[in-house]
A and B are shown apart, each in its own frame.
Chain A
Amino acid sequence: MRKILEVRNLSKIYGKGCPRCIESTGPEADTNMCPHCGSVVAIHDVSFDLHEGEILGLMGESGSGKSTVVKNLYFDQTPSSGSARFFEEDATHEMFNLNAAQQRRLRNQRFGMVYQNPHLGLNFGISSGGNIAERLLMSDVSHYGEIRERAKELLSRTEVLLSRMDESPAAFSGGMQQRVQIAKALATNPPLLYLDEVTTGLDLSVQARILDLILEIQQERNTAMIVVTHDLGVIRLLTGRALVMKYGRVIESGLTDQILEDPQHAYTQRLVASAL
């Protein structure tokens, strides 16, 4: 299997930071806010690899830094330190050394993002088809008929009624908005997809169908995904490997079934026990 993403020592600190930030935060210190300078160590020293077609889970409680990892990798934020390499067939990108235009190209053409809140991922001022068109236009498709066809194809793939493709996503239910977001993320057929709490807040039957859809897409297109969630059911169903995070640190990582059946860290043990 080809490696497509290599993340090393990724850190993000909100605030000015001080030399004692790292030693005074983390699971042992039971906080992510430095008592000396008040900076928040959102993530520290996160490293992992991701291969083609693989689904990696990031789990942990609210504020553990799991979303921050994905936001940094999608260039929504700039990390304080660390590196990430994105491998394409013929090129390797040192992600945080690229200029803004190169980052925008990766973001628009190679990555896809599905946010928990559809308002972040979709433009509610334009139609659902227009949202998909936006992403295609950003990757330099300039043929109206082609854009239209592609949008139809994607929306029918994600089971959005084609008769409603020219309506604003504001007129849709939460589950449908999420489907439009997934269709938008898939528009450029990206090799890497970030899913940030995609099923949180949806009812169970809709959750199940969205998860099915995600798995089917992974099978069809061999898309690698990073799935951020606090829902152990989602982790168990989707992911092959997982990282458990607490106060910005990775406290446990490995095969998902191993982590869930035989958790090593005390926090993971509590987490698994409370959920099951």
Chain B
Amino acid sequence: MSVTYNFGFMDEHAKKEVRRSILKAISIPGYQVPYSSREMPMGRGFGTGGLQITLSLIGADETLKVIDQGSDDSVNAVNLRQFVELTCPGVNTTTHLNEATLIQSRHRIPEVPLTPNQTLVLQVPYPDPLVVVEPSEDKRKVMHGEADYARLLVKLYEDIVKFDEITISHRYPTRINGHYVIDPSPIPRWDVPKLNNSPALILFGAGREKKIYAVPPHTIAEPLAFDDVPFRVESFNDTHGNRRPCERCGATDSFLDEYINEDGSKRYQCSDSDYCDTVLAETKEAAHA
């Protein structure tokens, strides 16, 4: 069947259009560029936006890593990786971050900092942060154009009034290069600081909503906050105030997933499986030496 499809599944014209939109997105950091999202052989909402960017950028010399919620082995990641292997003969895939040149991810940015040679592609369900305060897309476009984000801050105000803190756990509105505010896909707050001054290019693709936007390398990304109530990331401290380690590898500097055991107790483990494996291997090596 590989002969019946073009390299990268999409035809060259479609890829060219996506690449053109990517260039525009890089030129206007944070601006949501509309593009003609193609039908993919999977439902919209399964990462078709990110996949179209990946397929448009990938060449035979690339090494691809696909992550779903930090894990290389979950269904979405495995399916997308197999799809690329099937439709892009000659492309390498990996689960190791340091080997990858192109990384497609759902909901996480890897723990280890990215390098200038890498490009991160994030799958986005809801590209527009203003959708929670303004239902009309026409009006939202004007608001973006005028950098009118006061109503997003009102939401933060209401959060502090009700809960004494900002309760947005993911999709934290972030201002790019001093103007456009983006919805940085559903990455947790933990990952938001990694957008700021990132050495790697970060691209966002929303297949269902037909939008592409970008945080170019070394661009300022500031999460919205008040002067006296600063942005903060999730705390993984236990009730005594000690940082919880990952139960598997012992790392104390990673984003942890919470699991409930059968007896109702809780277990914490790295969300980034590649990072967890790496730390585990290093500890073992150190123990042997």
B288 in the interface, Cβ–Cβ < 8 Å? no
Are the CB atoms of B161 and A129 closer together than 8 Å?
Answer: yes
Closest to B226 in A: A144
Are the CB atoms of B150 and A143 closer together than 8 Å?
Answer: no
Q: Mark A88-101, 1 if CB is under 8 A from B, else 0.
A: 00000000000011
Question: Within residues 127 to 158 of chain B, which ones have a CB less than 8 A from any CB in chain A?
Answer: 142, 146, 148, 150-151, 153-154, 157-158
Which residues in A have their C-beta under 8 angstroms from that of B160?
144
Contact of A147 (CB < 8 Å), options: B142, B151, B157, B162? B157
B233 in the interface, Cβ–Cβ < 8 Å? no
Interface size class of B (residues with CB under 8 A): 10 to 19
B112 in the interface, Cβ–Cβ < 8 Å? no
Contact of B151 (CB < 8 Å), options: A104, A127, A134, A166? A134
B229 in the interface, Cβ–Cβ < 8 Å? yes
Are the CB atoms of A137 and B153 closer together than 8 Å?
Answer: yes
Assuming the contacts A126-B158, A144-B160, A147-B157, asked whether A137 and B228 have C-beta atoms less than 8 A apart, the reply is no
B238 in the interface, Cβ–Cβ < 8 Å? no
Closest-CB distance, A271 to chain B (whole angstroms): 40
Contact of A144 (CB < 8 Å), options: B146, B150, B227? B227
Chain B, interface SS category = helix
Contact of B162 (CB < 8 Å), options: A100, A133, A143, A166? A166
Are the CB atoms of A133 and B157 closer together than 8 Å?
Answer: yes
Which residues in B have their C-beta under 8 angstroms from that of A133?
153-154, 157
A142 in the interface, Cβ–Cβ < 8 Å? yes
What is the CA–CA distance of A137 and B151 in the complex, to the nearest angstrom?
8
Which residues in A have their C-beta under 8 angstroms from that of B148?
104, 138
Are the CB atoms of B157 and A145 closer together than 8 Å?
Answer: no
Q: Mark B216-233, 1 if CB is under 8 A from A, else 0.
A: 000000000011110000
Are the CB atoms of A130 and B227 closer together than 8 Å?
Answer: no
Contact of B158 (CB < 8 Å), options: A127, A142, A143? A127
Which residues in A have their C-beta under 8 angstroms from that of B153?
133, 137, 142
Closest-CB distance, A179 to chain B (whole angstroms): 19
Contact of A130 (CB < 8 Å), options: B142, B146, B161, B226? B161
Which residues in A have their C-beta under 8 angstroms from that of B150?
134, 137-138
Contact of B228 (CB < 8 Å), options: A101, A145, A166? A145
Q: Mark A111-152, 1 if CB is under 8 A from B, else 0.
A: 000000000000100110110011001100011111100000
Taking each of B150, B153, B160, which has the highest tally of chain A beta carbons within 10 Å of its own beta carbon? B150
Which residues in B have their C-beta under 8 angstroms from that of A137?
150-151, 153-154, 157
Are the CB atoms of A144 and B157 closer together than 8 Å?
Answer: yes
Which residues in B have their C-beta under 8 angstroms from that of A126?
154, 158
Are the CB atoms of B227 and A142 closer together than 8 Å?
Answer: yes
Contact of B161 (CB < 8 Å), options: A100, A104, A127, A146? A127
What is the CA–CA distance of A126 and B160 in the complex, to the nearest angstrom?
13
Q: Mark B11-41, 1 if CB is under 8 A from A, else 0.
A: 0000000000000000000000000000000
What is the CA–CA distance of A22 and B142 in the complex, to the nearest angstrom?
35
Closest-CB distance, B19 to chain A (whole angstroms): 32
What is the CA–CA distance of A142 and B153 in the complex, to the nearest angstrom?
9
Are the CB atoms of A100 and B228 closer together than 8 Å?
Answer: no
Which residues in A have their C-beta under 8 angstroms from that of B227?
142-144
Q: Mark B181-198, 1 if CB is under 8 A from A, else 0.
A: 000000000000000000
Which residues in B have their C-beta under 8 angstroms from that of A130?
154, 157-158, 161
What is the CA–CA distance of A129 and B146 in the complex, to the nearest angstrom?
25
Closest-CB distance, A106 to chain B (whole angstroms): 13
Which residues in A have their C-beta under 8 angstroms from that of B158?
126-127, 130
Which residues in B have their C-beta under 8 angstroms from that of A123?
154
Are the CB atoms of B226 and A142 closer together than 8 Å?
Answer: yes
Closest-CB distance, A99 to chain B (whole angstroms): 9
Closest to B224 in A: A142
Taking each of B153, B227, B229, which has the highest tally of chain A beta carbons within 10 Å of its own beta carbon? B153
Q: Which A residues form the contact surface with B (CB < 8 A)?
A: 100-101, 104, 123, 126-127, 129-130, 133-134, 137-138, 142-147, 166
**A-B pairs with lowest CB-CB distance, top 6:** A144-B226, A137-B150, A138-B150, A143-B227, A133-B157, A137-B153
Q: List 13 A-B contacts (CB under 8 A).
A: A101-B146, A104-B148, A127-B158, A129-B161, A133-B153, A133-B154, A134-B154, A137-B151, A137-B154, A142-B227, A143-B227, A143-B228, A144-B227
9 more contacts with CB within 8 A, not counting A104-B148, A133-B154, are: A123-B154, A129-B157, A130-B154, A137-B150, A138-B150, A143-B226, A143-B227, A147-B157, A147-B226
